[in-house]
Amino acid sequence: MTTSTTAAARVRIVWDWNGTVRDDLGDHVAALNATLPALGGEPVSVDTYRSQHRVPIRSFYDHLLGRPISDAEWASNDAAFLAVLDQRPVKLRTGVRQVMLGLRARGIGQSLLSLAPHERLLHELRQVGIAGLMDRIDGRVGPSVSTKAPALAAHLAALGPGIDPAHVIVIGDSADDAVAARAVGAVPVLHTGGLHCPERLATDGAPLVDTLAEAVEVGLATVAARAAATL
């Protein structure tokens, strides 16, 4: 094994799902707009969605409506929202399957972490045939949360004691992906075509890219630069 191959084997990619690997901005806007009227709200544009989206999604509804929704409203709305999503086919971001296959050929480990419900996440990844490319897949188990940081720490711990966060690249589409990455000492790279607009992402200071192939290469270069700086 060459030195470069050995170095690559130490690196790991942690993918985000919604808005990153799954190209579903239009799906989420459609589901939101299908459910807002029942709560007294008005449909929103894609730009409004991307500039104001937040998690947990319940707080997004509160923000758009200008009032807190009740538990009963949330339960009914969440079910309706997911029902709309279920009607839309799972679509991968262009070229991501080839990127993932290329990473596997280079000996770079990959896993996927999402705040989407775990069983739903597994079903969607199996639908598009990429579940087998992941060393681990973790979705949310339990109620919605406002940040991915604790889940990312648990995800890396579950991958095993040999995982060095300094060699982990987190690729996502929200500022919270970057916050979570930094919380564990990983490298964040943010994709500009997801659920959050580039203007919001730019305030975080993480590298911004337009394609997932570029995200991987920027992440690898950052990890290499970090390693060189410690020599």
pLDDT (tens digit per residue) in 32-72:
999 999 999 999 999 999 999 998 889 999 999 999 999 99
Average model confidence (pLDDT) across the chain: 93
The pLDDT value recorded for residue 155 is 98
User: Could you read off the pLDDT of 64-91 as tens digits, one per residue?
Assistant: 999 999 999 999 998 999 999 999 999 9
In single-letter form, the type of residue at position 30 comes to A
Short-list 4, 18, 36, CA closest to 171: 18
Answering whether pTM is above 0.85, one says yes
**Amino acid 8: pLDDT:** 54
CA distance 85 to 100: 25
- pLDDT, tens digit, 9 for 90 and up, residues 157-167: 999 998 999 99
User: pLDDT at position 3, please?
Assistant: 37
Alpha-carbon distance 132 to 144, whole Å? 26
Residue written as token pair 């648990």: 154
H, E, C per residue of 79-111: HHHHHHHHCCCCCECCCHHHHHHHHHHCCCEEE
What mean pLDDT do residues 91-102 have? 97
The CA distance from 37 to 207, in Å, is 37
Domains of the chain, first to last:
3-23+91-229 (3.40.50.1000), 25-86 (1.10.150)
Write the burial class of residue 89 (CB in 10 Å: 0-12 exposed, 13-18 middle, 19+ buried): exposed
pLDDT at 6 over 90: no
Q: What is the mean pLDDT of residues 10-34?
A: 96
For residue 70, how many C-alpha atoms fall within 13 Å in the half-sphere facing its CB? 5
